[in-house]
Structure 1
Amino acid sequence: MFFLHQGYSLVPVKTVQLGEAATLTCALPIKEFGSITVHWYKQSAGDGLKLIVTLSKSAPPEYSPEFSRKRFNVENANNVCNLTVLKTVQEDEGIYHCGIAEWMYPIQWSETYLSVKGNTQMTSNYTVVQWPTVLDPLHPGESVTLQCSIISVFDKATCSEDLSVFWFRAESNKSHPNIIYTHGNTHDECENRSETQKRCVYRFSKNVSSSDAGTYYCAVDICGEILFGNGTALKLGMIFH
């Protein structure tokens, strides 16, 4: 298991071979399990959260119709809740969210990206570029556009249809980043840079608020592996009233 960026405790990535079992873990509070309920969700590129299963001590696991218990298994032991994909297929790839609900407390979240390897293309043929490294200070209400370029090198240059691009925002005072946008398999533009090289550009635009400062990472799922940019730091200027 590795992380999207070493500078923060970001979303961990678990990589398995196609057809293997994959077990994702979620740390539980050190207290009686009977006082909490655990929800597991899956999020694919371009999609919202889809509930997989709900687990509590007072009832057997409740699986959503889309996620059969023949393919998924959930159990808790030693203050850890495990979700196991019994035999992975390519469609299992995505971000898995664990939500811990306690009475009178906010839901606690943790995430893991499950990467399913099975494609024969080589990620060494790709480069992920983010720029500028630091944006000039902005003020709330101003618009900003973040840009991420994927450069591919092949005998016949192409932007793979298997690309999935995610944008994360990380703050130094948070243990996990927020996923803010997914491109799915769409890009803004592609161009041939040479006979063997092609570049596809992915952009994310938003009007900033006072809480939007942080480092924004472009993470790209290529052929079952994760490549990521160095991040773009978004700084907000001083606000005068």
Structure 2
Amino acid sequence: MLVIIHILLVLTIGRCTDGHIFETMTVNVGDDVTLTCTRQTSWRSTFLFWIRLVSGTFPEVLGGTFAFDYDGVKKTHHITAKQEPGQFVLHISNTQLSDTAVYYCIKVTKMNMTFLKGIFLRIKGQEPDITAVTQDFLSAPVHPGESVNLQCSVLSDPEKKACPGDHSVYWFRAGSNESHPSFIYTHGNSGDQCEQSPEAHSPQKCVYSFSKNVSSSDAGTYYCAVATCGQILFGNGTKLDIEDVSTCDSQRDSTVYLLLCAVLAVSLIVIVFLVYAIRKKSCDFSKATIGQQANAAAASENQQSQQRNENSLVYSTAIFSRRPAGKAGRRKATAKEETIYTDVRAFVKD
């Protein structure tokens, strides 16, 4: 992406000629490369330049010449710029990985600059024989003072080995408060820790272990890095969590406290429910008792009233007396005697 940005910025300076301008070329490390640019002797007051653009740096002028025939040669390290018939060439001998860049041939006439040709040259390094770098995960957090063992497995194919010597293994730690990983350990002779499988065409496995007594400040992600053939391959990383004992105790105390609070809350709810049930039952029982007592009182009252009524009965006795008849009566005495009730006496039973 940065290379493309450089190209766009450079293209805004001048114009390009028609035809194929930009090419891509890929070579291996150590190869010789020759880049060519058209040169016409009829161009008057014209200069030709080869420049190189590397991401993150300013353009670098590798060589320049006149458009007419000129014997001058400019050589810098392993790069040579010179004329050939009808061409202005740039020769790079024994290419290196740092030669990967964008190369431009520029034509400058008075105040006009034209890009004649552009080439993206990619230098391909030797492919490493490493096929995989894996790290084991820790199943549980560790406590300060305990020993932890980190392992890194490196699989390689000996038949594809293109670099001399053994690979080197390093350990890095990326802490939570660190912006960059810090180097912590390197292994010595890697060949002593590798095992070759007896099966044909099977990869070679090398296991590297890193052990230490951890403290609370050792938390972070640990990476295994393998350097081979000018490249560095990183493992997937192992995250190390340090669990402080005091933190565990405080968490345990908090858990117990929460459980006790929950038990107390449930107990209070049960007590309130029981009190409510007992009070409701007592109230129902009291209402029933009062009703029975009221019924009994009403029955007793009725019985007493009936008794009073019976006791207040009036018993009457009729007393008869004969009244003497007068003269008129004596006149009719012969015809019929007349009986008259003269008095009534009543007796009340107390």
Give the TM-score, by structure 2 length. Answer: 0.33
* Larger RCO (CA within 8 A; separation ≥ 6): 1
Query: Which structure is higher in strand share?
Result: 1
Which structure's CA Rg is the greater one? 2
TM-score (norm 1): 0.46
